[in-house]
Amino acid sequence: MHDVAAAAGVSQATVSLVLNSASGSRFSEETRKRVRDAVNRLGYRTNAHAKVLREGVAGMIGFIGDSVASSPFAGAIIEGAQQRAWEDGLLLLTVNTGGDKELETASLDTMLSYKVAGVVYGAMYHRMLEVPEALAGIPSVVLNSQDRAGRLPSVAPDEVRGGYVATRRLLEAGHSRVGLINIETLESGLPGAVGRYEGYTRALEEAGLALNPAVIRFGAGNEEDGYRYAMELMTAAKPPTAIFCANDRTAWGAYQAASELRLSIPGDVSIVGFDNQVTLAPHLRPGLTTLELPFVAMGRRAVDLILQGAEPDGRVELMECPLIERNSVTHPKEMP
């Protein structure tokens, strides 16, 4: 900057003031031009560290994730966060801890050294987690999970509403025997599993239908169990006419079962999934109607909160999972 000043024949302070033009038309147009020319000529770029040193806070937001970047889908979370950050001219300082607590502490420490404006603590899948104490010191929010201690604000998908919407979609198509292949809830206590189940029961209840254990199964959330339980359900005496699979992989398994039983989807059985996995849902035949986890929106929202100062008020913001219509749902074949 001193070089620029010299080249423009003014003082360093003038250069700074002109560049940040905070002070309106404090300087003559001619001087301003000389400064700008010199800047371009010398290819000057302001040193961000000097700036931060003076101002106290950096134009960076820390992002700590367990394995977010390498997870096939949750990566979109980073994209959302980064988009939002950039809208305010901030960059993301990212770390994938892979669950390594030591790395987590150390990298968080480094981030704090860099005076990040805040920290997003993201998780690969929705759960309750322990957050590092050091986060208490600066604006921070838990993303795609919730702070077990209930202190930091969290942003997470609205699983209950998701389960409700999925089920309603089937009910409104005219189905009354709606099966469910969920992820095991009790042991895992996963908000996704618990919430989707709750949404399912709520929708049935609201429609005046009784919960029927005969058409409900709990599995591991993979295609094996999807296959196995769909097989069970569809070969039973009174098979359901529609199944809500609490994730897309389970739905894939159900597709395989249907194919093996020579049942058509959605002709013989309608299916709704959950997750909208881009490598799967659009490519199944027929395309899978499913709910999308709003990763990008959640990422954006988390940074939003940081930029607003993110008090540790323990609030949990649940974001809606949009229904993605494809072709796996229709009305039941015959209304018995």
Partner DNA sequence: TGGGCGAAGTTATACGAATAACCCACCAAA
Partner DNA sequence: TTTGGTGGGTTATTCGTATAACTTCGCCCA
Binding stretches for a copy of itself (CB under 8 A):
45-50, 52-53, 58-60, 67, 69-73, 75-76, 78-79, 82-83, 86, 89, 91-96, 98, 103, 107, 109-115, 222-223, 249, 252, 256, 259, 277-280, 283, 285, 296
Least distance in angstroms from the C-beta of 168 to DNA: 54
Contact call for residue 12 and DNA (CB under 7 A):
yes
Least distance in angstroms from the C-beta of 25 to DNA: 6
Contact call for residue 20 and DNA (CB under 7 A):
yes
Strand, helix or coil for residue 156: strand
C-alpha separations of 298 from 118, 137, 175, 287 in Å: 16, 23, 32, 25
If one counts every other C-beta atom within 10 angstroms of the C-beta of residue 290, the result is 32
If one counts every other C-beta atom within 10 angstroms of the C-beta of residue 313, the result is 9
Least distance in angstroms from the C-beta of 44 to DNA: 7
Contact call for residue 47 and DNA (CB under 7 A):
yes
Pick the closest to residue 244 from 152, 329, 134, 319 (CA basis): 329
Rounded distance between C-alpha atoms, residue 229 and residue 224, angstroms: 9
If one counts every other C-beta atom within 10 angstroms of the C-beta of residue 9, the result is 11
Out of 6, 7, 16, 296, which residue is the one contacting DNA (CB under 7 A)?
16
In the complex with DNA, the residue whose CB is nearer, 24 or 213, is 24
Least distance in angstroms from the C-beta of 111 to DNA: 15
308 binds, among a copy of itself, DNA, none (CB under 5 to 8 A by kind): none
Rounded distance between C-alpha atoms, residue 332 and residue 67, angstroms: 41
Contact call for residue 279 and DNA (CB under 7 A):
no
Rounded distance between C-alpha atoms, residue 65 and residue 259, angstroms: 39
Out of 6, 19, 121, 136, which residue is the one contacting DNA (CB under 7 A)?
19
Rounded distance between C-alpha atoms, residue 121 and residue 24, angstroms: 40
Could you tell me the maximum CA-CA distance found in the chain, to the nearest angstrom?
Answer: 92
Binding residues for DNA, rule: CB under 7 A, are 1-2, 10-14, 16-17, 19-20, 22, 25-28, 30-31, 44-47, 50-51, 53-56
